[in-house]
Amino acid sequence: MYNTIRIAFTITIAFCTLIACNEKKVFSKADFVIANGQMPDIVKDKNDHLHLVYGVGDSIMYTSSSNKGISFSSPSLVDVLPGLFSFATRGTQVSATDHGVIITACTSKGNIYSYYKDDGKWKQGARVNDVDTVAKEGLMALSADGENAFAIWLDLRGNKKNKIYGAKSNDGGKSWSENQMIYTSPDTTVCECCKPSVIMKGNHVYVTFRNWLNGNRDLYLIQSSDGGGSFGQAQKLGTGSWKLNGCPMDGGGLAINQNGEVQTVWRRKNTIFAAIPGEPEKEIGEGRDCALEIVDNKNIYTWTEKGEVVLMNHNGEKKVLGKGSQPVLKGLDKDHVICVWGNEKQIHASIVEL
């Protein structure tokens, strides 16, 4: 009798282990296509649902996942916006507040529009830029925390030189605050073709951008502790500089860990660096189009290397995910991340176990 019970117990344990292994294996999902389109952006809301936006011609498209990226809903149209930017880091942005999901999109005329959902339908909110046609580069970023969202972009108002401007929304993208000048370069302009980054945490707003000072195209960080009402002094990231008579079209990535510490990743020449403000940069790879996500308080990096999207985990282990460029990352749980990117006008993704 004892032996029978022991054998049955052993079989049960083995069966449960097999199921667990199979579930673990299924959750790692290699390069798959979500939809036709380009320049994706992705966010996770407070219910752990994923929201993904991208462009198809002049159409802003949206899809979502309620099962950690295993499958996505049929793509739906948000709006047709003539002259929509959806190439070369110029794409629709998405974030999630307590009010719901916000989308921002920029046109070639230089106007940024916002969208929100009401009764299951997408509606256009107020225009983000309060001076007409000043965002002609179409380079912008969006972040949210709690009830508030903050948008930043390259802005030409005044002297027709690119500066960093921003605006805040506290009603889910229906309206936006008076625009705030965040940074103006004393050397005529910031880098004209590099996408800035923004993270909002409570009343803190963190912005990184590529500057242009004395011919150097270096990354800078600037912060606000009053919800974006005012910003401090811009701080250069890393100790080296990149003197370049041209634009690298590569803005880098930004994240805040659980300790409230700023983490950044960016490119100089052909090298990818990770950097903490005030400390020397650390070389982590070769390539471009880098992004950063923090999962279980560990830094996860992605970038494009020789036409392929690669991911590097917190142990420095690198994995090739597929062909393409412009990858973005979103943590799914403490053990998994989803990477989304574009390749030949298709939106690709991989779910990676860390």
Tell me the pLDDT tens digit for each residue of 136-164: 999 999 999 999 999 999 999 999 999 99
pTM, two decimals, is 0.91
Q: Give me the pLDDT at residue 247, please.
A: 85
Domains observed in the chain: 37-353 (2.120.10.10)
- Does the pLDDT value for residue 2 go beyond 60? no
Q: Give me the pLDDT at residue 125, please.
A: 97
Q: What tokens does 263 get?
A: 């983490």
45-71 average pLDDT score:
97
Contact, 290 vs 266, CB < 8 A? yes
Nearest to 314 by CA among 304, 301, 333, 330: 301
User: What backbone torsions phi and psi does residue 289 show, to the nearest 5 degrees?
Assistant: 55, 50
Q: In degrees to the nearest 10, what's the CA dihedral of 111, 117, 119, 122?
A: 50
Q: Give me the pLDDT at residue 88, please.
A: 85
Q: Give me the pLDDT at residue 288, please.
A: 96
Q: Give me the pLDDT at residue 159, please.
A: 93
Contact, 255 vs 292, CB < 8 A? yes
Separation in Å, CA 93 to CA 161, 220, 322: 23, 21, 23
Q: Give me the pLDDT at residue 282, please.
A: 97
Question: What average pLDDT does the chain have?
Answer: 92
Q: What percent of the chain has pLDDT over 90?
A: 89
